[in-house]
């Protein structure tokens, strides 16, 4: 059976679930996957992975990974983020005989000149993938000499998501949300990149039903600012903070809409994808990364003006049941077609076949 090596710097969210999903996608094309995290577990250890326990020192990571791979032969090496790329491409007895794919999960992979130089020196035959077309376009812009690029989106295990998703009533009960309220949810870190303050300001100014609630699922550095801002805006009783919630995707059925306010630095948006599978209408900033996930089937707002977000929130609450059903059905179909395990498995299979043909022609 063909074997793949998957390397990731750490298992912090969302990379624990992402690596599991990539391993499951590769299993669909008959590959056994060895997943290696360079660092130590951040929470519950995944028993299906190996942890090198090295947080710093590229040379130490290279030596440890070389020791782990001794005696093994891989047909595919999948490296997530730049540090894993640095380490995996220096294991010559693994990467030279394998198709190597490096996945950029954020912008800026080749913004630095030194990184472009290193790629030309050590990784001419490596395939560089972006989780969205926007990431790939930016890599090509910074590094025109990059030869092998592709879009490799984050996959989602649809069967697992459907299996663990709670009912609307149960999800609201566990989150402490009134059952009959109109609920707008925002899922993710309370960090400036996610623009939760913009979401709060828009919610406070929008003409929404009296029972409307804004629910932040996640935690982060802006929580204190958001709590004090909600109080000063007079909406504290209508804004709910759940803090960090493990496996937040199972609670998405609690929401009447998902608000995704991330700005131009957002490369993908797993919360978007999970909401698409959950059939939740999505109100989204019109940014390249999120649009590559959601496509045409969402309520978009432009820019970063509070009034634009407020207007989108009002459009969301005014959607008819027919319009909601049509939007959510289209979102679900797109998610299954583009981002399911089967869809990503097909991308792996196509790349491996093309690479094998290219290698045979060159030999």
* Neighbouring residues of 15: CB distance < 8 A, sequence distance ≥ 6: 8, 9, 80
Residues 240 and 310 both lie in one domain = yes
Is residue 280 within 8 Å of 255, Cβ to Cβ? Answer: yes
Task: Please tell me the least confidently modeled range out of 129-133, 239-243, 309-313, 354-358.
Answer: 354-358
Residues 146 and 13 both lie in one domain = yes
Residues 104, 24, 130: CA angle, nearest 5 degrees:
15
Give the span between the Cα atoms of 7 and 98, in whole angstroms: 14
Measured on CA atoms in the order 344, 348, 349, 350, is the torsion positive or negative?
A: positive
Name beta bridge partners: 33.
4
**Which segments of the chain does DSSP mark as H helices, in order?**
15-27, 58-69, 81-88, 92-95, 113-122, 133-142, 158-164, 168-175, 196-205, 223-232, 270-277, 288-294, 306-317, 321-339, 341-362
Predicted TM-score (pTM) of this structure: 0.92
Domain that holds residue 60: 3-155+340-362
Q: Which two tokens stand for residue 295?
A: 């496509």
Residues 191 and 137 both lie in one domain = no
Smallest CA-to-CA distance from 14 within 203, 227, 274 is with 274
Terminal C-alpha separation, the chain: 24
pLDDT at 164 over 80: yes
Q: How many domains does the chain contain in total? A: 2
Three-state SS across 44-60?
CCCCCEEECCCCCCHHH
Residues 195 and 332 both lie in one domain = yes
Tell which wins on pLDDT, 362 or 342: 342
Residues 180 and 321 both lie in one domain = yes
Q: What is the dihedral of CA 305, 307, 310, 315, to 10 degrees?
A: -110
Residues 198 and 140 both lie in one domain = no
Phi-psi region of 215 (alpha: psi -120 to 50; beta: other; left: phi over 0): beta
Residues 349 and 321 both lie in one domain = no
Residues 174 and 281 both lie in one domain = yes
Give the span between the Cα atoms of 121 and 12, in whole angstroms: 31
For 144-156, how does the pLDDT look when each residue is reduced to its tens digit (9 = 90+)? 999 899 999 999 9
Phi-psi region of 96 (alpha: psi -120 to 50; beta: other; left: phi over 0): alpha
Is residue 258 within 8 Å of 281, Cβ to Cβ? Answer: yes
Count the residues in the chain: 363
Mean pLDDT of 305-322: 94
Smallest CA-to-CA distance from 213 within 177, 189, 253, 250 is with 177
* DSSP single-letter state for residue 256: S
- Of the chain, the percentage scoring pLDDT greater than 70 comes to 98
For 95-125, how does the pLDDT look when each residue is reduced to its tens digit (9 = 90+)? 556 899 999 999 999 999 999 999 998 888 8
For 11-58, how does the pLDDT look when each residue is reduced to its tens digit (9 = 90+)? 998 999 999 999 999 999 999 999 999 999 998 899 999 999 999 999
Helix, strand, coil shares of the chain, percent, nearest 5, are: 50, 20, 35
Residues 173 and 210 both lie in one domain = yes
> What's residue 43's pLDDT?
81
> What's residue 71's pLDDT?
87
* DSSP single-letter state for residue 297: S
Tell me the pLDDT of the chain averaged across its residues: 94
Q: Which two tokens stand for residue 320?
A: 């008819």
Is residue 321 within 8 Å of 284, Cβ to Cβ? Answer: no
Q: What are phi and psi of 188, to 5 degrees?
A: 145, 180
CATH code for the domain in which residue 242 is found: 3.40.50.2000
Mean pLDDT of 327-337: 96
Mean pLDDT of 71-90: 93
Residues 123 and 22 both lie in one domain = yes
Give the span between the Cα atoms of 166 and 187, in whole angstroms: 16
Residues 166 and 43 both lie in one domain = no
Write the CA distances from 90 to 65, 69, 83, 84, 250, integer angstroms: 10, 12, 11, 10, 39
Residues 192 and 330 both lie in one domain = yes
Phi-psi region of 117 (alpha: psi -120 to 50; beta: other; left: phi over 0): alpha
> What's residue 94's pLDDT?
58
């Amino acid at each position: 059976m063909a074997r793949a090596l998957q390397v990731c710097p750490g298992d912090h969210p969302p990379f624990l679930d992402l690596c599991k999903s990539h391993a499951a996608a590769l299993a669909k094309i008959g590959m056994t996957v060895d997943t290696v995290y360079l660092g130590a577990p951040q929470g519950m250890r995944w028993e299906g992975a190996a942890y090198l326990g090295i947080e710093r020192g590229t040379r130490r990571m290279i030596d440890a990974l070389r020791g782990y791979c001794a005696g093994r032969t891989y047909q595919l090496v999948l490296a997530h983020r730049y540090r894993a790329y640095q380490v995996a491409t220096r294991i010559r007895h693994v990467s030279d005989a394998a198709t190597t794919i490096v996945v950029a999960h954020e912008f800026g992979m080749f913004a630095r000149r030194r990184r472009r130089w290193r790629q030309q020196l050590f990784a001419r035959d490596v395939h560089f993938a972006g989780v969205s077309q926007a990431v790939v376009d930016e890599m090509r812009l910074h590094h025109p000499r990059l030869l092998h690029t592709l879009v490799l989106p984050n996959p989602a295990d649809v069967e697992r998501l459907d299996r663990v998703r709670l009912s609307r009533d149960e999800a609201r009960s566990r989150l402490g949300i009134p059952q009959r309220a109109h609920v707008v949810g925002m899922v993710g870190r309370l960090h400036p990149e996610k623009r939760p303050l913009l979401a709060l300001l828009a919610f406070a100014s929008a003409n929404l039903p009296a029972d409307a609630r804004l629910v932040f699922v996640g935690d982060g550095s802006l929580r204190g600012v958001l709590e004090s801002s909600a109080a000063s805006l007079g909406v504290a009783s209508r804004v709910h903070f759940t803090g960090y919630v493990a496996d937040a995707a199972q609670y998405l059925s609690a929401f009447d809409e998902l608000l995704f306010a991330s700005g131009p630095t957002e490369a993908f948006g797993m919360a978007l994808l999970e909401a698409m599978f959950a059939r939740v209408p999505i109100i989204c900033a019109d940014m390249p990364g999120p649009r590559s996930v959601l496509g045409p089937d969402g309520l978009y707002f432009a820019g970063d003006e509070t009034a634009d977000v407020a207007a989108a929130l009002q459009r969301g609450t005014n959607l008819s049941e027919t319009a909601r059903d049509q939007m959510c059905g289209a979102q679900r179909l797109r998610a299954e077609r583009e981002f399911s395990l089967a869809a990503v498995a097909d991308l792996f299979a196509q790349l491996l076949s093309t690479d094998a043909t290219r290698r045979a022609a060159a030999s």
